[in-house]
Chains A and B, each alone.
Chain A
């Protein structure tokens, strides 16, 4: 009976795992979701003392991962921009997947922010009492708007479901929404540009934290532009990595090779530009910005261990330049293993960059009597992040099972059957 209902919701002409096996796959994620929900409940009920954050370490695991998933989720807006505005039509094969990834990343980030800030019932205060001089206000407004846009972009993907599109009103609404998707792609690009930038700007304007402080253009520090560029660079890479993972887990080909090539090429070019500007920015910071604020740059790395110079080298060279080259050279990019390795390294690179700006910035002393402060998240912090991870996996798994995330799947399956 359940199998019959399940089958009725699965698209025609594609293969999906039996329902029982799908439940087995979903069960551990559901368990993680339950654990995370309990941790979130504790934090909302009792407050942030359940976490290991304090007055010094106000940004912990949650903000670091928020920044990371928002950067990785940039694939949604950037793929939409490439497809609907720049007419890279081959990316139609991954746009639905990119939208789901973006939705999961942004909604997960907003959820964690709600737990971190606390009192979610008063979330509307930020709109009623906006501090227009704060980067955080810009971030809040843009993320809220963009999450709304992502939800709207998800609606046509949802309405493509086999059962839903049987209803004429759903079918027609999906069609009409799809026709105006270019508007949402442009708005998404505008909002993403500003909130990715503002997230970077948040750190760049911290005058009391010379490790993060940067000079810039008008009111925007250089980190504003570097965050935007790095998010644009890794967005396509993350879409490629997730698509590849979906292919490996489902053991099916989901997109054509040319799609990977396009994603890799675009990501490689942008990543190289990012590495160039990041290097330039770092040199300026080492030679000018930091010394002017009384901190020779080498002092930030004197503590060794987790925060030594290796982290700078790893971020720019190993997880920046190397993947850029892997993705740029056509012969290397043509090999799927190298392309995915390059894309995965790029994603790790931007994650490390966000780690440096949140965790390392707060760990380093800024006053003579200060000392290096180390921080390790509590289980509630890990579990709350586990909630977002599990939620993401479940939303993506259900979307893959019941929606047409990869329009080329049926064609590729038929081509393989021919061989």
Chain B
């Protein structure tokens, strides 16, 4: 039974002691091997994006996880427990067609928050991307104004090659600037058709069958969210560099990468793109 133990005897002392020890050793080794195997299969099946967002969401503060209905004042203090994917949220489904939500969404005037323009012809994702339906049924995906100010003129966005499958809340693009790298989450489910020609959009995406936009922000709630984002950014920069960076009543600088030291720019990118 225990041939590798010198002088082993069929004695209760040996059996109990070595039995417990080897059971523990086997359980430890088995658990590690199981974790390794599951990791191997998850990477092979390309589940790493989902896992990335799951772990990143867990690291967000309660303030950052605030529910979209908390932003509009419908459910004050509520935190999201759906990883910002409202498609499976019963509360969101219940509130979606309520009068208040309708009123919030019905805001027709293009909003501007501290100089950040928010055209209302598109849906916004909480990772600072937007989605607009094109005339050919394709979806156009781009960075919102804050995202573009972080990207600046000398930054680069690494786009996924045509044919890449995108899934909501999984990393789709990579922003690189000043030695800082941040993952940008996909706002849609679909297949990349190719880069968008001209305009503000980054890519054209063929939507997946049954794709819905209920998880994306629209109208007035998008403006309320942007207020929170700027507040969050200001607080985070104050916390990370020890000084407040945006004065009340001011506007956000046109090119944040030029205004902020590298460390603060890194913090800002992480916060904006939810890559903490």
Contacts and interface: CB of A to CB of B under 8 A. Distances in A.
Nearest to A170: B39
Contact of A416 (B13, B38, B239, B241): B239
A168 to B, nearest CB: 4
A122 to B, nearest CB: 13
A414 B42 contact: no
A168 B48 contact: yes
Determine the main DSSP class of A at the interface with B. helix
B52 interface: yes
Contacts of A165: 55
A158 B232 CA distance: 28
B28 A145 contact: yes
Contacts of A138: 17
Contacts of B17: 130, 132, 137-138, 141
B32 A152 contact: yes
A152 B232 CA distance: 36
A416 B35 CA distance: 39
B24 to A, nearest CB: 6
B97 interface: no
Interface residues of B, number: 52
B5 A130 contact: yes
A180 B35 contact: yes
Contacts of A297: none
A148 interface: yes
Given A12-B266, A172-B42, A411 B31 contact: no
A13 B47 contact: no
Given A130-B5, A148-B28, A152-B28, A12 B267 contact: yes
Interface centre among B25, B28, B179, B239, by most A CB within 10 Å?
A: B239
B47 A172 contact: yes
Contacts of B270: 12-13
Interface in B18-44: 18, 21, 24-25, 27-28, 31-32, 34-36, 38-39, 42-43
Closest 10 CB pairs of A and B: A413-B239, A417-B238, A12-B270, A168-B48, A411-B61, A417-B239, A173-B39, A176-B35, A132-B17, A132-B13
Interface of B: 4-7, 11, 13-14, 17-18, 21, 24-25, 27-28, 31-32, 34-36, 38-39, 42-43, 47-48, 51-52, 54-55, 59, 61-63, 179, 181, 232, 235-236, 238-242, 244, 262-263, 266-267, 270-271, 275-276
Interface of A: 4, 7-8, 12-15, 127-130, 132-133, 137-138, 141, 145, 148-149, 152, 165-166, 168-169, 171-177, 179-180, 183-184, 187, 190-191, 404, 407, 410-411, 413-414, 416-418
6 contacts: A130-B17, A187-B24, A191-B24, A404-B59, A410-B276, A417-B236
